[in-house]
Structure 1
Amino acid sequence: MASEDEKSPSSNSGRSSIAQNYERDQEKPDALALPSHVPGSGTLDRLVETARDYAKQAASENTLKAYAKDWSHFSRWCRMKGIEPLPPSPEMIGLYLADLAAPTGRTPSQSASRPLSVSTIDRRLSGLAWNYTQRGFTLDRKNRHIATVLSGIKRKHARPPVQKEAILRDDILAMVATLPFDLRGLRDRAILLIGYAGGLRRSEIVSLDVHKDDTPDSGGWIEIFDKGALLTLNAKTGWREVEIGRGSKDQNCPVHALEQWLHFAKINFGPVFVRTSRDGEKALEARLNDKHVARLIKSTILKSGIRSDLPEKERLALFSGHSLRAGLASSAEVDERDVQKHLGHASAEMTRRYQRRRDRFRVNLTKAAGL
C-alpha cells in the first residue's frame, strides 16, 4: 500500500513524479553520490562516504528534524492543491505563506487550521529554502511573490516575542533542594547547576564528553581545575569556551556537583550525563536526551513551589530549557560584555533579550548628554 506521501489527488498517472523521487532521496542518509558519468572506485566511494558524514553534521539533529517536517507539510499542502512542490514556484510559496498566516478550511465541512506565528512562518520558509538547496534548486527569498507577502505578514501579525521566565538565584537553589542524594539526584543537581552557571543550552549540557573526542557525537568536553571548570563547546554559533568558577559553598557549587556526579557514577570516559538504572543507583552508558533537561526543569519547578500562585499548567508553560540561560543573564551582576561572551552571543542586543530583570537605565545617556 502506498504511503501518504506517495499519494496524489490527481488521476493523471502520466504526470511526472519528480517530487516524489526527491522526497525519497531526502529520506536516504546516502543521498550524496558520484555524478552518473563518473565511474566508481574504492577511493572515490570512500570519499563519498566521508562527504555524507560531513553533510550530516551541516546542521543539528533538531534542526534537520524541523526542516524535514517543514518539507513534509509543504509537500502535503501542494498535493492538496493539485500541484508539485518541485521545481520551486515563488508564486505558490507566497500563497503557502499566506495560508499559514490566515489558513482556510480544506473543504466546506472542515474548519481552518490555527494561524502560525510570524517566527514559525519565517522558520518554515528557511526550511523550504534548505530543502530546495539539497535538491539542487535555489529559492530566491527576495522574489516579490515571497518577499512582499512575508513583509505584509510581519507588518500585520508580528507581536513581541513571548519569553520564558528566567530562573533566578533563589529559584535554582529551591529547585536543587528538591533533589535526593542518590545517583540520579546527583546527576540532576549537576545538570541544573552547570546549566545555570554556564548559561548553557540544554543540547550543550547533554552533548558534553569527559575528554576531547571521546565519542563521535560529542558536542564538547570538560576540564576541571582548582578554581573551576572549563567547558569547550561546539555550540550553535561555533566553538567557544565557557569558564565556570567554583561557588562559595559546596552545596550550591556547580563544579563540586559535577565532581560528585562523576565520582560516584564512576564516569571517566565518554558522555558526562548518562541515563541511570530504574532504581537510580547505577549509571548506564547511554547519553541523556536534551528533553530530559526540559522535563527536569519543569518537575523541579513544580516541586519547589515556584510561582505557586498560578495554576499548574500556566506554571509549566512559563519555564523551559532557555530559562537557565535567561536566569544567568538576569542574575549575574557583571559587565554586559562578559555575559555576552559567556553565552556566546554575537550581539549585545541578543544578550539583552535574555536579561529579564536588568536596570535598563544604568547607563543614562540623557545625563551624559548634559540634560
Structure 2
Amino acid sequence: MSKTPENQPSDAEKPSSVPSDTINDAQVDERDRSNRDAIALPFHVAGSGTLDRLIDTARDYAKATTAEDTDKAYAADWKHFARWCRLKGTDPLPLSTEMIGLYLTDLAAPTNGSPALSVSTIDRRLSGLAWNYAQRGFTLDRKDRHIATVLAGIKRKHARPPVQKEAILPEDILAMIGTLGFDLRGLRDRAILLIGYAGWLRRSEIVSLDVGKDDTPDSGGWIEILEESAVLTLNAKTGWREVEISRGSSEQTCPVHALEQWLHFAKIDFGPVFTRTSRDGKKALDTRLSDKHVARLIKSTVLKSDIRAELPEKERIALFSGHSLRAGLASSAEVDERYVQKQLGHSSAEMTRRYQRRRDRFRVNLTKAAGL
C-alpha cells in the first residue's frame, strides 16, 4: 500500500530534510539581500546610529509587504530565471523585455523536453520577476510588446478552465470529524476542521489565530468567545475583517464548543490557538501549527472516511485540499449570495461564485424577467 498522509508523521514529528532547509535558507537570504539593496541611505548622506536604526525598521516594514510564502516563491522565480539566463549565455541584469518574452515562450513550449507550465503558473512567474526587478530598481512593463503579445498568445493557445478542488459538504465534514479520537490531538483537529468549515477560513487564517489581540508578533488575528457565538478578527488578504461563527444545534458538531474543548484541555489561554502536541498527543506545545497541517489533516480524514470511496486512493487525495473547507459552506449554505460574499471577504460576486460548487444558477430567471 502506498504511503498516505494518514500514516505520515504529524507536523510536530515530521523531520526537516537538509536539502529543503538549504533551499529555504537560500530563498530567505535572497529576500533579505533584496530588502537590504532596496532600503539604504543616499550616497551623499552620512550614516548615524539613529539613521541606521530607522533603516533597519524600514527594512522590517518592507519585508512585511508580502507574505513569507510569497517571498519564497518570488525568490525561487528569480533563481529559476537567472539560471535560465546563464544557460542561454546572458545575464538577468539589466532588464531586457526581449529576453523575458523568450523566457515565457520557453516556459509554455520548452525546448529541453521538460513539461510545459500552465498559463496561471507562467503568469505568476512573471509577477515574481516584476517584483524582483522592482527590488533592484527596474520597472518591468507587462504591457511592453515583447511581453504582452507573447503572453496573450500563450493564454489564447494554452489557457484552460481552472481546476477546482472538491467542496467538503455537510455530510462530508461530519464523516471527517467522526474519524478523530478524543485525545488532545483529536480535540485540536476537530476544532480546526469545524472552525475552518463554519468560518469559511483559509488554512493560513486558521493557524494564524491567537487567543487574544497582540499575543504574538506573527499573529494573524484573535478570537472572542461569546455566549451565542465566537467572533474571529482576521488580518486577511483583503484587510481586516470579522467573522462570526454561531453555535451549532449539537455539541458534537458545534464549532464553538469544539474550540472551547481544545482550549480548555490544552490549557491554552495565551498565544497561538492551534499548536503542536507532544508525540503521545497528551500535551500541547508552544509552537504554532503550520498551515500545511490543515491540508494534511483534510486529506487524511477524507481517506479514513468513506468520502468518494469508489475512487482509487490517489484520486481521492488529489480531489481535496485546504480550499475544500472554504468552498464547502459556500456551496451548501442556502442564503443570499451577498451574505456568502461578506463572510468569505470577497470584493466581487464573481470570485464568490468560484467557491459555490453547486449553487442554484437559475434561482432568478432573467429571461422571463426580460419578458421572453
Q: Residue by residue, what CA displacement relative to the aligned partner does 1:57-88 show, whole Å, maximum 9, x if unpaired?
A: 11111111111111111011000001110111
Question: Distance in 2 between the 1:126 and 1:293 partners?
Answer: 27
Asked if 1:74 is matched to 2:73, the reply is: no
Contact 2:199 2:244 in 1 (8 A): yes
Counterpart for residue 36 of structure 1: 43
Counterpart for residue 188 of structure 2: 187
- Classify the secondary structure of the residue corresponding to 1:252: coil
**Cα RMSD, aligned residues only:** 1.2
Q: Which has the higher contact order (CA 8 A, sep 6+)?
A: 2
Asked if 1:215 is matched to 2:216, the reply is: yes
Question: Distance in 2 between the 1:57 and 1:264 partners?
Answer: 34
Counterpart for residue 49 of structure 1: 56
- Classify the secondary structure of the residue corresponding to 1:285: strand
Counterpart for residue 292 of structure 1: 293
Asked if 1:265 is matched to 2:266, the reply is: yes
Question: Distance in 1 between the 2:325 and 2:307 partners?
Answer: 14
State the TM-score, normalized to the length of structure 2.
0.90
Q: Following TM superposition, by how much is the alpha carbon of 1:46 offset from its aligned partner in structure 2, in angstroms?
A: 1.4
Counterpart for residue 155 of structure 2: 154
Contact 2:31 2:72 in 1 (8 A): no
Identify if the C-alpha distance between structure 1 residues 25 and 178 changes in structure 2 by more than 3 Å, giving closer, same or farther.
closer
Q: Following TM superposition, by how much is the alpha carbon of 1:30 offset from its aligned partner in structure 2, in angstroms?
A: 4.0
Counterpart for residue 306 of structure 2: 305
Contact 2:234 2:242 in 1 (8 A): yes
Q: Following TM superposition, by how much is the alpha carbon of 1:227 offset from its aligned partner in structure 2, in angstroms?
A: 1.0
Which letter does structure 1 place at the counterpart of 2:336?
Answer: D
State the TM-score, normalized to the length of structure 1.
0.91
Asked if 1:102 is matched to 2:109, the reply is: yes
Counterpart for residue 324 of structure 2: 323
Q: Residue by residue, what CA displacement relative to the aligned partner does 1:264-298 show, whole Å, maximum 9, x if unpaired?
A: 10100000000000000000000000000000000
Which letter does structure 2 place at the counterpart of 1:243?
Answer: E
Q: Following TM superposition, by how much is the alpha carbon of 1:166 offset from its aligned partner in structure 2, in angstroms?
A: 0.3
Q: Following TM superposition, by how much is the alpha carbon of 1:194 offset from its aligned partner in structure 2, in angstroms?
A: 0.3
What is the total number of aligned residue pairs between the two structures?
343
Counterpart for residue 16 of structure 1: none
Q: Following TM superposition, by how much is the alpha carbon of 1:40 offset from its aligned partner in structure 2, in angstroms?
A: 1.4
Identify if the C-alpha distance between structure 1 residues 255 and 77 changes in structure 2 by more than 3 Å, giving closer, same or farther.
same
Which letter does structure 1 place at the counterpart of 2:236?
Answer: A
Q: Following TM superposition, by how much is the alpha carbon of 1:122 offset from its aligned partner in structure 2, in angstroms?
A: 0.3
Question: Distance in 1 between the 2:164 and 2:131 partners?
Answer: 27
Q: Residue by residue, what CA displacement relative to the aligned partner does 1:11-30 show, whole Å, maximum 9, x if unpaired?
A: xxxxxxxxxxxx97644364
Question: Distance in 1 between the 2:229 and 2:235 partners?
Answer: 20
Q: Following TM superposition, by how much is the alpha carbon of 1:193 offset from its aligned partner in structure 2, in angstroms?
A: 0.3
Question: Distance in 1 between the 2:86 and 2:57 partners?
Answer: 35
Question: Distance in 1 between the 2:197 and 2:31 partners?
Answer: 38
Counterpart for residue 341 of structure 1: 342
Which letter does structure 2 place at the counterpart of 1:46?
Answer: R
Identity of aligned residues (%): 81
Identify if the C-alpha distance between structure 1 residues 322 and 125 changes in structure 2 by more than 3 Å, giving closer, same or farther.
same
Which letter does structure 2 place at the counterpart of 1:338?
Answer: Y
Structure 1 unpaired stretches of 5+? 1-22, 106-111
Counterpart for residue 278 of structure 1: 279
Structure 2 unpaired stretches of 5+? 1-27
Question: Distance in 1 between the 2:198 and 2:136 partners?
Answer: 42
Counterpart for residue 142 of structure 1: 143
Q: Residue by residue, what CA displacement relative to the aligned partner does 1:155-206 show, whole Å, maximum 9, x if unpaired?
A: 0000000000000000000000100000000000000000000110000000
